[in-house]
Amino acid sequence: MNHPVALFTLMLAASNTVQAAGVDDFAVTLPLDADAARSAAWQVELGTEVYAWSTDGALRDVIVVNADGQPVPTMAWSPTPSTSTAPALVRAPLLMLPSAPAGPLPRDLAFVVERDAEGRLRSLEARDVEAGMPQRAIIGRGGTRAPASGGPGETPADTSSSAEWLVDLAAFPDGIDTIAFTWSAPTDGVVARFSIEAGDDLQQWRRLRSDATVVLLDQSGTRIDRRTIPLEPLRATYLRLRRADPGPALEGLAVEVRARTKGAPPPAMHWIAAQAITPAAGSRHVDYTLPAAVPFEAVRIGFAQANALADLTLSTATTRPAHAEPSWSTRARFVAFRLSLDGSVVDSGEIPVPASSRVRDLRLEAASGSLSAPALEVGYRPARLVFLAEGPAPYRLAVGSVRERRTDAPLEAALATLRARSGADWQPPLAAAGAVVEAGGKRALEAAPVDDGGTRKLALWIVLVAGAALVAGLSLSLLRSTRRKD
C-alpha cells in the first residue's frame, strides 16, 4: 500500500468534511438567469423571498452556487458610490406659459433658445419656417404658450387652473429625482395638483406624474406641509408643469430640484404590506408584522375613511424574546392624512423615515385619541450581490442557514478589469431570480445539537483516528525494517 498517498487521501477527506457546505445546508434555493457566455460577472437583487428565509442580519447566509453545487466568488454589491448626505435641493429656472392664442398652429417650427452667461434659460422663440417670422411663443403638442414677462423663477399672479410652466434642467446633465414647490402666498388652504411631463425638444413630451399634489393646510391645530414630489430618476432638458385644479393662485411660485448622484441608479423601492394585529378597543396604538424582516426607509399609511388625519409615532421592535413583550424603539413621528377635496382624494403619500437595520415588527401610536388599524406599507431597497460566473450554469442562490456564512470574495480587481474593457459606465448585468425551491427546508434554520457536534464532527473523528492508525502502522513498519538491516 502506498502509505503517503493513503494518508493524503484521508486528510483531504477530513478537510472536505469540515469545509464543504452543501446546498442542503441552506433552507431554499432560487434559480438565476445567468451564464458565462453572456457575461463573466453578474449582480442579483435579493428580493422579499430572500429576506424571508435569511436569518442573518447582514444576509451572510446567502451564497451563489453553480450547477455542481460549488460556491462561486461572491460579494456584497453597491451599484452607486456611497455618500454621507443627499444632494441639496437647488432652484431651477422657471418660465410661465399662459394660455394659447386662437388660430391654427404652423406646421414647421424652429426654436431659438436664449440663455444667460451661466447657461440658464431666459427666453424662447418659435419661428414659423414657411413665413420666416418669429413668434414669441413655445409650441408643444398641448398648443401654443406665450412666455411671461420677468426673469427665470418669477411668475405673474395668475397661477390658477390651466396655467403651465417650463422648468429648465440644462444645469443638471446627470438628471434629477425630486421636485419641490415653494410660494409666498397663500399660507393656508392650499391643495394644488400638477401634471409633470419631461421633454428635450419642446415638442415631444412624456408623462411622469398626473397627480403630483402639494398641500399646505391647518387641520384642527395640526399643520400639513407637503411640497416635495419624488420622481423616478430621469434625464431631460425640460419639465412641463400643468396646474390641474381650480384652487387659488400660488403667488411667487418657484421650483427646486434635486440632482441625481452620478453612477448607476440605486435599486428601485420595493413595497410590502404589513399585517395588523387587532388592537384592543379604544387603544391608541396598533402593532404590525411584516412577512420578512427588511431595512425599510419609507412608509405609506392608508386610512379607510375619508377626511382622516392622525399625528403618528412609528416604532420598531428591537428585541422579541419568546413569550415576552418586545422592546420598542422610536423611528419617526409624522402626520398622515386622507382628505376628500373638490371631488378627489389626497393622501400623505410616501413618507420617508430614518433607515435602520432589518426589522419585522412595527407599531403605530396616535398622539391623541384611539387609532383604528390603518393600512401600513413599508418601502425598502433590496441589497444586491455580485458574483463571477465560475463553473457550469445554471447558477442558484442558496438562502437561509444557521451554520454557513458567506465570506465575501475580493472581486474589485476583476470588476475593474471588466469595466476597463467595457467602458467606465459598465455594470454587471442583473440576473433575474426564479421561484423558491426548498432545499434543506426549516431544518437548515435549526441550531445544530451541542452534545456531540453533529455528523460532521463524528466523521472528522473517524477520519482522524483512521489517519492516526495509518501513521502508527507506517512507523511500526519502518521500525521493523530498520531492525532487520541491523
Domain residue spans of the chain: 26-76+383-445, 89-259, 271-380
Q: Which of 171-180, 211-220, 295-304, 368-377 comes out lowest in average pLDDT? A: 211-220
pLDDT at position 145: 42
pLDDT confidence band for 80 (50 / 70 / 90): low
Q: Do the two domains 89-259 and 271-380 of this chain adopt the same fold?
A: yes
Report whether pLDDT(291) > 90: yes
DSSP 24: G
pLDDT at position 14: 38
Cα 363 from chain centroid (whole Å): 23
Topology of the domain covering 89-259: Jelly Rolls (2.60.120)
The CATH-assigned architecture of domain 271-380 is Sandwich (2.60)
Of residues 478 and 88, the one with the higher pLDDT is 88
Question: CA 248, 254, 260 angle in degrees (round to 5)?
Answer: 130
Among candidates 57, 1, 5, 51, which has minimal Cα distance to 28? Answer: 51
241: amino acid identity, one letter:
L
Q: Which of 194-203, 219-228, 327-336, 447-456 comes out lowest in average pLDDT? A: 447-456
pLDDT at position 8: 39
Report yes or no: 156 and 147 within 8 Å, Cβ to Cβ.
Answer: no
pLDDT at position 469: 60
DSSP 262: S
Of residues 244 and 62, the one with the higher pLDDT is 62
Q: Which of 164-168, 245-249, 293-297, 334-338 comes out lowest in average pLDDT? A: 245-249
Mean pLDDT for 35-61 is 96
pLDDT at position 280: 77
pLDDT at position 306: 84
Q: Which residues lie below 8 Å from residue 126, measured CB to CB, with a gap of 6+?
A: 109, 110, 111, 112, 134, 135, 137, 138, 139, 144
Report whether pLDDT(221) > 90: no
Among candidates 59, 56, 55, which has minimal Cα distance to 74? Answer: 59
pLDDT at position 344: 73
Residue in this structure with the C-alpha cell 451564464, named with its chain if needed = 35
Q: Which of 73-87, 88-102, 198-212, 359-373 comes out lowest in average pLDDT? A: 73-87
Of residues 296 and 84, the one with the higher pLDDT is 296
Report whether pLDDT(146) > 80: no
Among candidates 294, 295, 269, 292, which has minimal Cα distance to 28? Answer: 292
Of residues 264 and 439, the one with the higher pLDDT is 439
pLDDT at position 458: 58
> Which residue(s) pair with 336 in the sheet?
310
Q: Which residues lie below 8 Å from residue 407, measured CB to CB, with a gap of 6+?
A: none
Of residues 353 and 153, the one with the higher pLDDT is 353
pLDDT confidence band for 402 (50 / 70 / 90): very high
Classified as helix, coil or strand, 400 is: coil
pLDDT confidence band for 54 (50 / 70 / 90): very high
Classified as helix, coil or strand, 81 is: coil
How many residues can be counted in the chain?
486
Intra-chain end-to-end CA distance of the chain, in Å: 24
CA distance 377 to 111: 46
pLDDT at position 368: 87
pLDDT confidence band for 13 (50 / 70 / 90): very low
CA distance 29 to 53: 10
Rg of the chain, C-alpha, whole Å: 32
DSSP 266: P
Strands (E), 222-294: 222-226, 228-234, 238-243, 254-259, 270-273, 275-277, 285-294
Among candidates 201, 198, 200, 157, which has minimal Cα distance to 179? Answer: 198
CA distance 135 to 144: 10
pLDDT in tens, 19-32: 445 799 999 999 99
Mean pLDDT for 189-209 is 92
Report yes or no: 143 and 121 within 8 Å, Cβ to Cβ.
Answer: no
Question: CA 205, 195, 306 angle in degrees (round to 5)?
Answer: 155
Mean pLDDT for 141-157 is 41
User: Between the CA of residue 38 and those of 34, 93, 422, what are the distances in Å?
Assistant: 8, 44, 13
pLDDT confidence band for 486 (50 / 70 / 90): low
Q: pTM of this prediction? A: 0.72
Mean pLDDT for 186-197 is 92
Of residues 208 and 119, the one with the higher pLDDT is 208
Number of Cβ within a 10 Å radius of residue 180: 19
DSSP 298: E
Number of Cβ within a 10 Å radius of residue 160: 14
Q: Which of 21-25, 192-196, 303-307, 354-358 has maximum average pLDDT?
A: 192-196
Report whether pLDDT(257) > 60: yes
Mean pLDDT for 328-344 is 87
